[in-house]
Structure 1
Amino acid sequence: MTNTLTIGERVAWYRRRRGMSQEVLAGLVDRTEDWLSKVENNRIQLDRLSVIKSLADVLDVALADLVAEPSLVSWTSDSGMRTVPALRAALMDYRKVTPFGTGSSVEPPPIDVLQQELKTLWDAYQDARFGYVTGRLPSLIAHAEAAVSAMSGDALDDARRVLGLAYQLAAVQLTKIGEADLSWIAADRGLGAARAAGDVVLTGTLLRSVAHALQATGRYREAVQLTNDAANYLEPHLSNATPELLSVYGTLFLAGSIAAARANDAIATRTFLTAADEAAQRLGHDANHLWTAFGPTNVAIHRVATAAELGDIQVAVDLGPRVDTSGLPMERRVRHSLEVARALSAWNRADEALDTVLAAEKMAPEQVRYHVLSRQLVLSWIRHQRTKPSTVLVDLARRLDVMD
């Protein structure tokens, strides 16, 4: 299986492998045989994860199997030639889960150097330099683990905070490139470091990463429940909330709103968006505490994304282009652009959607290359062409590795 298959073509491939007819599969997901035929022949574009997940469940495959994840991280001058396998090795080091060989051969840098190393990589992530982040995270994790092993007192808690945020960065980065299982491990490790430090805000932001990891494997209802549980954990601390806590609390609800939308729970989606908006209004402006990019604009971005997930395409088309994301980090700006492109494409405005993806690619080529939305949009446009695709579209498809 390669990146050159649409989601519909993958559904057909796995259906045949299961020895299942179109009539049977369509009935099991409460759809018509005609609908499934159109999906498999690319006449209907599958762009709602709730629908894709229902097909994956019936076919007994992982969500990632249908959406063509994970992505191969390209070697670049930024990434070097050690990418996801090196990060996997760092996360699966047996010394972290056994009593054997607990010492580290890595010399821990001073805390301020470690904190700067952390900031550099988080800033690079928000600049959508995914290869750079993936290539350098193993070193950051090794340094932070060594610091936790070597330090005591306040310095130990500082080291644990760096370690927790390093694992959170690993979790969000791995989610971006489709490595859902590794993302779960990273989120779990980060949560352990946060709890050991006794840091409520850090624990809250790691709980959000757990919610993202749940979503990456299609466990949307569990992510909704975790959002409620995590909110209950943070609420006793809100009376004198710092900007960092407000930001973490708000982004937790934003993550939950996406999970609720993917679970087709419109009521929970609205509830979470309202809670996030209240936190944003209390914060008073867009900010980037703990690299959350939280504020009124991020709430608006999620209103667009959840509308698209719920199938409210007109809302997404009307609202999406009006959201001014120029003050947000690049990763947020480009993610929103892809949502706008999805809505435009679903509204039969493919030329505008293509222009939106091309503009996003100019800003953050790696993010567009690795995101399932951009890859599947471009692939669907190629398939839907009644005449020879334009050179611009073909070139984009080849850059995204969805066309030979």
Structure 2
Amino acid sequence: MRGMTENLTIGERVAWYRRRRGMSQEALSGLVGRTPDWLGKAENNRIELDRLSVIRRLADALDVSLGDLIGEPTLLDWTPDSGTSTVPALRAALMDYRQLTPLLSVPSSDAEPPSLTELERELRAVFDAYQASRFGFAAGRAPLLLADAILAARQYDGDDQLRANELLAMSYQAAASILTKLGESDLAWMAGERGLAAAQATGNHAIVGSLFRSVAFALQATGRFQPAMQLVEAGAAYLQPHLVDDDGNLQSVYGMLFLAGSMAASRSEDRGTTRSYLQEAQDAANRLGRDGNHLWTAFGPTNVAIHRVNTSMELGDVQVALDVGPDLDTSALPTERQVRHLLDLARAYNSAGRSEAAVATVLDAEQLAPEQVRHHYLSRQLVLGWVRNVHGKPSVELDRLARRMHVVG
């Protein structure tokens, strides 16, 4: 359905699917506990649909996926950075039957695994590109990374095999992170699941915890918020006995696990659990003592604050987000984190009726990471809403932004 609904707002998409289901506004609004008047305004862009808890209820009632309503995935543009082999190549790599078991692999006498140093360098390049919001580059490099990591895990032995499995697990996590960001949630789940299986072969608690986080985000991407929270609880119980021996990796992974949980809890409209998870993450950040990037987590006090803004918006606490967000200095964090915060801040400004500040904030985000702004459902829906609701012609600035994002013709 991507081609038919990509340039619709979420409200317009709800109307499109509702009509396809043959449902009246009265029937759908009743299923989600709202009034027909509320639904009519939402479908006509007079009410913002920006809380995933509400969108998920609509998706469930319409028997479609969360991604169907928020417009994911969107087409990844070809650029000199990405090349012309991106998500489909990554899908093919994940769906290669030979990955299922060595029994199905065809022996090859000339297939030599990369050195572990070379594999580490490849992994770092993909994760660094992801954190720099260069998603096309990361998606293009990830298939080769996975192929090399699988070969290494199968052909090395002893301590080298343990390290190869650690690199394989993190390679799958890199793939899951990229695919989640690009809206390919089913593929992200597959990558996270395989990464967790590889991680369990390592005995490295931090690597296992890191993959727990990946699977939690994949669950969230499909709207499965309660299972994501359950995974966080189980993963935390697994990690807690080992925190005393931490060198930073475990503390960061533990804290990020609770940040993932806070997002799931807020999207389930569970305020108490959201507060509890944020406090657990804050305690971990305090123990760490600074912002860091252990295992590419970008974890520390600032990332906890970013999640306070995000969860406030998911819970509808716009003023809380506006109290915290504008003065938060994220400049030391990776670009991906900075831009994600800016999009939540733009969302808060928009909800408060401060449209000029909202547009300026999206433009700031675009300056940092045009790919991320192009693909994120929040920025796409904000810009589509502004274009739809403007009286007369949109400003030159807004029109150019919408065209750069391909949300208008």
Matches within 5 A, 1:281-360: 281-360=286-365
Say yes or no: does 1:6 pair with 2:19: no
Is residue 260 from structure 1 mapped to residue 256 from structure 2 by the alignment? no
- Cα RMSD after superposing both structures: 1.0
Tell me the SS of whatever aligns to 1:345. Answer: helix
- SS in structure 2 opposite 1:321? coil
Rounded Cα–Cα distance in structure 2 between residues aligned with 1:97 and 1:240: 35
Alpha-carbon distance in 2 for matches of 1:269, 1:53: 18
8 A contact 1:106–1:142 mirrored in 2:
no
2:217 is the counterpart of 1:212: yes
Aligned length: 404
**Candidates 4, 23, 26, aligned match of 1:23:** 26
Matching residue of 1:82 = 85
- What residue is the counterpart of 1:101 in the other structure? 105
Per-residue Cα deviation, 1:201-245 (whole angstroms, up to 9, x for no partner): 100000000000000000011111111110011011112222110
* 1:369 alignment partner in structure 2: 374
Distance 1:153 1:25 in 2: 59
Q: Is 2:5–2:13's contact at 8 Å kept on the other side of the alignment?
A: no
Shift of 1:19: 0.9
Matched, 1:133 2:138: yes
**Equivalent residues of 2:45, 2:389 under 8 A apart:** yes
Cα offset for 1:198?
1.5
1:221 aligns with 2:226: yes
User: Which of 176, 184, 199 matches 2:181?
Assistant: 176
Distance in 2, matches of 1:197 and 1:370, equals 35
Tell me the TM-score normalised to structure 1 length. 0.99
> Structure 2 matches for 1:238-253, cutoff 5 A?
238-253=243-258
Q: State the one-letter code of the partner of 1:245.
A: L
Question: By how many angstroms is 1:102 displaced?
Answer: 5.3
Q: Partner residue of 1:66?
A: 69
State the distance in 2 between where 1:399 and 1:302 align.
28
1:159 maps to which of 159, 164, 178: 164
Asked whether the 8 Å contact 1:257–1:270 carries over to 2, the reply is yes
Secondary structure class of the residue paired with 1:120: helix
CA distance in 1: counterparts of 2:279 and 2:111, whole angstroms: 46
1:123 aligns with 2:128: yes
Confirm or deny: 8 A CA contact 2:127 2:174 kept in the other structure: yes
Letter in 1 for 2:89: A
Match of 2:71, as an amino acid?
A: A
Contact (CA 8 Å) 1:266, 1:310: kept in 2 or not?
yes
Query: Aligned equivalents of 2:355 and 2:234: distance in 1?
Result: 41
Instruction: For residue 250 of structure 1, report the CA deviation from its aligned partner.
Output: 0.3
| Secondary structure in structure 2 of the residue aligned to 1:238 | helix
1:389 is paired with a residue whose SS is coil
Match of 1:44 in 2: 47
CA shift digits 1:304-342 (9 cap, x unpaired)? 000000000111112111111011011100110001001
CA distance in 1, matches of 2:201, 2:399: 51
Shift of 1:120: 1.3
Instruction: Please state whether the residue corresponding to 1:285 is helix, strand or coil.
Output: coil
Give 5+ residue unaligned stretches, structure 1.
Answer: none
Report SS of the residue matched to 1:66: helix
- Aligned partners of 1:195 and 1:59: how far apart in 2? 38
**Partner SS, residue 287 of structure 1:** coil
Question: For the Cα contact (< 8 Å) 1:107–1:143, is it kept in 2?
Answer: no
Structure 2 Cα separation of the partners of residues 185 and 103 of structure 1: 25
Alpha-carbon deviation of 1:103?
Answer: 4.0
Q: Which residue among 386, 390, 402 is the counterpart of 2:391? A: 386
1:358 is paired with a residue whose SS is helix
Distance 1:63 1:206 in 2: 23
Give the conservation status (yes or no) of the 8 Å contact 1:6–1:379: yes
Per-residue CA shift, 1:270-296, capped at 9, x if unaligned?
000000000000000000000100000
For residue 55 of structure 1, the aligned residue among 24, 39, 58 is 58
Question: Partners in 2 of 1:249 and 1:177 — Cα distance?
Answer: 25
User: Given the alignment of the two structures, is residue 114 of structure 1 paired with residue 119 of structure 2, yes or no?
Assistant: yes
Identity score, percent: 59
**Counterpart residue identity of residue 279, structure 1:** A
CA spacing shift, 1:260–1:125, aligned 2, 3 Å: same
